[in-house]
Amino acid sequence: MKSLTTANNRNSNAILVVKDIAVNRSGKLILKDINLTIERGEFVGLVGPNGSGKSTLMLTILGILKSHRGSVSIFGHQPQASLLYGKIGWVSQAASNLPKDVRLTVRELVQLGTVNGKNMFRFADGGRKEQVDRAIKMVALEDVQHIDIARLSGGQRQRAVIARALASKAEFILLDEPLVGIDRDARNSLLKLLDGLCHNEGKTILMVSHDLAAIRQTAHRMVFLEETIRFDGDTEDFPDLVELADLRGIGPVHGLAHAIHKEEE
Ligand SMILES: Nc1ncnc2c1ncn2[C@@H]1O[C@H](COP(=O)(O)OP(=O)(O)O)[C@@H](O)[C@H]1O
Ligand SMILES: [Mg+2]
């Protein structure tokens, strides 16, 4: 925990600083003593068993849930400050993320990323068209941009949602289980895309996944969460399952392996 404290104090290039937060939901303590600093350009994988509080932490970072102690600061502001608009991209499971009753083409969906309170009624100025073109190209969906999103595969749909975040010029992209429901090839191309966003575009990424193998393959840094942060460090130092079981203070390893390696859908 010592190195964490140091990282929190340094925070020169920090995009996210979570200090000592605790979060209750329906009167039950879900997260406690959470300290997490993320610097610009990092790709951080957030892992942990089902129900360990990963989504709760994401929602707290986004300002949707409130911590009852400690503080969260993104780009030096409190979550949901109007200044943050467009700087943060949020991607959850594609299936639950997209409107089911609205007919929308891929391009229209991506365009929505460029809409904010200020330009809502000024359609298609030049800069925004370029932004949309670029975002669609980055996720390689040019060929299907005029197709209804309902007709896309899971992997394509997930890329479309990421393009929406990219079109908004979000610098910090948070993804909650983006790999669920997409096949292996689509998963690999998605991971490659995210990796490229960090390395070539200077984006910062925090991605939740219970797919340990997939996340290890891409993230530079891993955070293991179960009520509190039990590991935070370089991916190559991420403990094996036996050590993880020790961190969690439990005996049988099979239960853990089962819990964090949910079968691929
Ligand atoms: N709306 C809610 N009210 C009360 N408890 C909740 C609510 N949503 C989730 N929880 C509980 O919070 C814990 C963490 O959930 P969650 O953050 O969704 O975990 P994860 O994303 O790691 O699977 C679980 O025990 C879950 O049952
Ligand atoms: Mg979750």
Mean pLDDT, 10 residues at a time, over the chain (265 residues)?
43 88 96 97 94 94 92 91 77 72 89 68 62 90 95 89 87 90 82 90 92 89 95 92 72 50 42
Rounded to two decimals, the pTM is 0.84
State residue 45's pLDDT score: 97
Taking CA atoms only, the protein residue closest to ligand 1 atom 8 is: 25
CA geometry: angle at 163 spanning 194 and 18, to 5°? 55
- What domains does the chain contain, in order, with CATH numbers? 1-87+173-252+260-265 (3.40.50.300), 99-170 (no CATH)
State residue 6's pLDDT score: 42
Taking the centre of ligand 2 as the mean of its atom positions, its distance from the CA of residue 55, in whole angstroms, is: 4
State residue 39's pLDDT score: 95
Taking the centre of ligand 2 as the mean of its atom positions, its distance from the CA of residue 14, in whole angstroms, is: 25
State residue 264's pLDDT score: 38
State residue 127's pLDDT score: 64
Pocket of ligand 1 contains residue 116 by CB under 6 Å: no
State residue 7's pLDDT score: 44
State residue 210's pLDDT score: 82
- Ligand 1 atom with least separation from CA of 59: 17
State residue 112's pLDDT score: 86
Taking the centre of ligand 2 as the mean of its atom positions, its distance from the CA of residue 54, in whole angstroms, is: 5
- Ligand 1 atom with least separation from CA of 25: 4
Pocket of ligand 1 contains residue 30 by CB under 6 Å: yes
Distance CA 77, CA 38 (A): 14
Cβ contacts of 137-145, under 8 Å, gap ≥ 24: 138/163, 138/166, 138/193, 138/197, 139/163, 139/166, 139/193, 140/189, 141/106, 144/106, 145/105, 145/106, 145/107, 145/110
State residue 9's pLDDT score: 45
State residue 263's pLDDT score: 40
- Ligand 1 atom with least separation from CA of 53: 17
Pocket of ligand 1 contains residue 96 by CB under 6 Å: no
- Ligand 1 atom with least separation from CA of 56: 17
Pocket of ligand 1 contains residue 64 by CB under 6 Å: no
State residue 231's pLDDT score: 94
State residue 244's pLDDT score: 75
State residue 251's pLDDT score: 55
- Ligand 1 atom with least separation from CA of 48: 22
Taking the centre of ligand 1 as the mean of its atom positions, its distance from the CA of residue 76, in whole angstroms, is: 27
Beta-carbon neighbours within 5 Å of ion ligand 2: 54-55
Pocket of ligand 1 contains residue 53 by CB under 6 Å: yes
